Amino acid sequence: MSRSRQPPLVTGISPNEGIPWTKVTIRGENLGTGPTDLIGLAICGHNCLLTAEWMSASKIVCRVGQAKNDKGDIIVTTKSGGKGTSTVSFKLLKPEKIGIYLLSCYSEDENKNGFSFKI
């Protein structure tokens, strides 16, 4: 069975690092002929197909999910071109814990703006 299109090739991702659920733009060639042609999208080994928005044959937007690997390829699979390759990678960062902030309200007499943040 011969295919009329070349396999997908990912040549760029922006941003190229981020925490889980970061929205990324994937650029490349042969990324599908339409939304229904896109049948697979993985970043760092995580399936991102549910969040994928096919924009054109050279652009897909999606969110990076939780992944086991902290750095990995972006693999696009289409009906027309099969499983693709990537010349770039994405680095998954671990979110930093910044603590819990409590919002307290004070009367106008105690605090001019009426709000105060406490750690």
Higher per-residue pLDDT: 119 or 69:
69
Could you tell me if residue 35 is inside a domain? Answer: yes
Q: Is residue 108 part of a domain?
A: yes
In a domain, 67, yes or no: yes
DSSP H helical segments within 1-119, as ranges?
none
Alpha-carbon distance of 114 to 96, in angstroms, equals 30
pLDDT (tens digit, 9 = 90+) per residue, 34-86?
A: 999 999 999 999 999 999 999 999 999 999 988 777 899 999 999 999 999 99
d(Cα 103, Cα 92) in Å, to the nearest integer? 31
Q: Does any domain span residue 114?
A: yes
CATH number at residue 43: 2.60.40.10
| Residue 112 region by backbone torsions, left for phi larger than 0, else alpha for psi between -120 and 50, else beta | alpha
Residue 100: the pLDDT is: 58
Indicate the residue type of 33.
T
| Residue range(s) defining the domain that contains residue 83 | 9-118
Give me the DSSP letters along 73-97.
EEEEEETTTEE-EES-EEEEPPPPP
82-110 per-position pLDDT tens digit? 999 999 999 999 877 665 554 444 444 44
Count of the separate structural domains present in the chain? 1
